[in-house]
Amino acid sequence: MKFSEAWLREWVDPAITTEQLVAQLTMAGLEVDAAQPAAGKFSGVIVGEILSVEPHPNAEKLRVCQVKGHEAGISQVVCGAANARAGIKVPFATVGAQLPELTIKAATLRGVESAGMLCAQTELLAGEDDSGLWELPADAPVGADLRAYLQLDDALIEVDLTPNRGDCLSIRGLAREVGVLNQSRVSEVEIAPVPAASNATFAVALHAPDACPNYVGRVIQNIDINRSTPNWMKEKLRRSDIRSIDPVVDVTNFVLLELGQPMHAFDLDKLRGGIQVRLARPGETLQLLNDQEIQLTAESLVIADAQGPLALAGIMGGKASGVGSTTRSIFLESAFFAPTAIAGKARAYGLHTDSSHRFERGVDWDLQTRAVERATALLLDIVGGEPGPLVIARNDQHVPAHPIVSLRKRRLLTGLGLTASEVDAVALLQRLGLELLREEAEAWTFRVPSHRFDIRIEEDLLEEVARVYGYNRLPTRPMLLSAVLDSLPETRTPTTTVKHHLVSRGYQEVITYTFIDPQLHALLYPDVPAVVLKNPISADMASMRTSLVPGLLQTLRSNLNRQQSQARLFEVGMVFNGDTNPASTEQQTYLAGLMYGDVHQPNWSEKSRESDFFDIKGDLESLLACVARGRSVEFAAWTGSDLLHPGQAAQILLGGRVVGYIGSLHPNKQRALDLPKPAFLFEIVMGELTSALLPKFSPLSRFPEVSRDLAMVVDKQHCVADLERSIRKSAGDVLKNLKLFDVYSGEGIDPKRKSLAFSLTFQHASRTLKDEEVNTSVTSVVRCLEEEFGANLR
């Protein structure tokens, strides 16, 4: 928001400089983006009146003007502006005047003497209109110093407000803040009720009271819209980057800037049957004031009459009912729209207006009547007319209530390090408009004013005390905190241990958005319903992620686009499970990893090779061995995934329970994502991963181990894990270690079969094993493998 410092000082005028004011606002959380003079440095420029204009005898595009204003009499000035004509008043830079970029001297232009210069806005750095001379109001005093007449010794300050401070999107709101910061009196504009001069009214009905619980209107008849807006109002609007249009629109924009209440005026003669505040109906369209025709959606709140929609509520009015040069009677409206009813609606239609900007952040829900009274008084002074009585439609059930918030006295010390002797918190909060309801031994309780949507909990009150007291003044002594350290059971592994282990295996942690592209979700998970946002940041961030994998794949593609052909990535984050109903949506923390490209960077001692399924499986097994202590780890072939390659996918089982999956990205999805090589993924529930059994000590055997190797030929479709389970079951308790050390298929082996070589290690806890015992176990193993899998000794 851009505002004039001079306008602000009409409300509150502390004894501080512009630089100090800017610093104060920024330190109070109202960051100032820019502060610049309202006009360039110039002197010797007065209000001049052109008495006559004649063509230049020697130049087709120049004119010779006789200008009144200089104390020495009529001055002759050569001017090239197309709008130079007799009777208008313009800035007149006399001989000797200092302009921002030149000094005015008497000159002869193409044989004609010129004593001065007639100026445009841009030549005085007082605006952006360079189309011709700056035409001043007809009542401008001829000969007056232009700088003093237009009060150009002013600063234009632009603040970048955070979304929670919609109350400061007005001169009134900023004045409140400056008054509190400087303990200065704020001179509120006097708004007296305007007595009705007629009985004319226009009915209003609220059909969506939850979205619009308060609507105030007034009929004003017999106005003269062709009158000019006063120059003081035009200047205030111009310095806030708002163009003057006509008196009615200018007044509504002025009230918007002054009080923070968006308003709109309808041409009364174009309305039929009464105002209806309702949701749009199927098939309805509306042509807006900017000539854009929109197809209204069912979620859009509209202002309508018996004929159809008149305006997009809280955003922009319609062209058909707009005020024009033939308007004689108007219906002036001022409403409160719930922020949730307006948020995102303007953006959905490709719009962003001053009204939607304010309503999305929250407008004072007790301001509408005052705004109508203020606008009515201004309009009567400018365009005349006969006002009718106020029309008020209000649903108290849906009007917001004043929040009641308590502040514990000890929180000043524990939260800010301040004592009661250093800050009078009650007085400070009361200056902000909070009403002290009661003071108790341990706490104060306040009623929050209607314009502060951002104060809801105790921490909000602490923040107010801190920023008004001054963040830079807060004590640096240590704050007193009553902290209790959580115990860390041996059965729980810290998340940092998981991360550190993956980093040690060459992975890099990434943090991606929880919002993803709905098209990417549909590609990866066609059968999983997306959790769609009602008010997305952008079209490609319109769904909540139901997996960490989309973020990892997007990060991989970003790296590939930057010539990074190798990646090992992981992320720990929340995903959203459930349907599109927010009440049934749950969040759960997952760990996901991705491997792509070569196993390692090329080097002189080792040949490079591409990653495969067993590389990422080995990394995951290493992690599980570190963190899932005492729980059995198994991998079961999985063919039911649309995400993964049907021949390279497995479910991860911890203690016999499925906790995740691992595999290669499905080739169809790999091609759709334009990945030249396979990408290998795993995803696992973080809570399961960090849970372990309590370790128990088992005495080490002092007796020798006995090893036997078995090479078994089995059909290729059999999984090694199934064979290992059978071996452990049939070998008995003396089997201490089992390891697969060779897989062979080729010459000498049936093409449909493979050879698996296992190393079996036997050991007894209390004695030395005999060869007969070991041979019996091996024989039992071979027999079971033959019976269950049709295996043969190689």
Looking at residue 698, its pLDDT comes to: 81
Looking at residue 585, its pLDDT comes to: 66
What distance in Å separates the CA atoms of residue 675 and residue 318, rounded to the nearest whole number? 49
What distance in Å separates the CA atoms of residue 173 and residue 258, rounded to the nearest whole number? 9
What distance in Å separates the CA atoms of residue 339 and residue 19, rounded to the nearest whole number? 34
Looking at residue 360, its pLDDT comes to: 93
CB atoms under 10 Å from CB of 768, counted, come to: 12
Query: What is the bridge-based pairing of β-strands 285-287 and 293-295?
Result: antiparallel
Phi and psi, residue 715, nearest 5° = -65, 150
Looking at residue 586, its pLDDT comes to: 78
Contacts of 546 (CB under 8 A, 6+ apart): 521, 525, 528, 530, 531, 575, 576, 577
Handedness of CA 646, 647, 649, 651 (dihedral sign): positive
Ranges in the chain, pLDDT < 50: none
List, in sequence order, every residue forming a beta bridge with 34; answer none if it has no partner.
158
- Architecture field, domain 204-394: 3-Layer(bba) Sandwich (3.50)
Tokens of 729: 């079951």
Q: Could you tell me if 393 and 206 are in contact, meaning their C-beta atoms sit under 8 angstroms apart?
A: yes
Instruction: Tell me the CATH class for 706-793.
Output: alpha beta
Report H helices in 135-246: 146-149, 171-182, 231-238
Q: Where in the chain is the domain with CATH 3.50.40.10?
A: 204-394
pTM: 0.68
Looking at residue 584, its pLDDT comes to: 58
CATH match of 404-469 with 3.30.56.10: yes
pLDDT in tens, 633-670: 888 888 888 899 988 999 999 888 899 999 999 999 99
Q: Where in the chain is the domain with CATH 3.30.56.10?
A: 404-469
Looking at residue 604, its pLDDT comes to: 81
Sheet strands (E) in 603-734: 633-637, 644-654, 657-665, 679-685, 706-715
Handedness of CA 100, 104, 110, 114 (dihedral sign): positive
Single-letter residue type at 412: L
CATH superfamily of domain region 495-689:
Bira Bifunctional Protein; Domain 2 (3.30.930.10)
CATH match of 43-149 with 2.40.50.140: yes
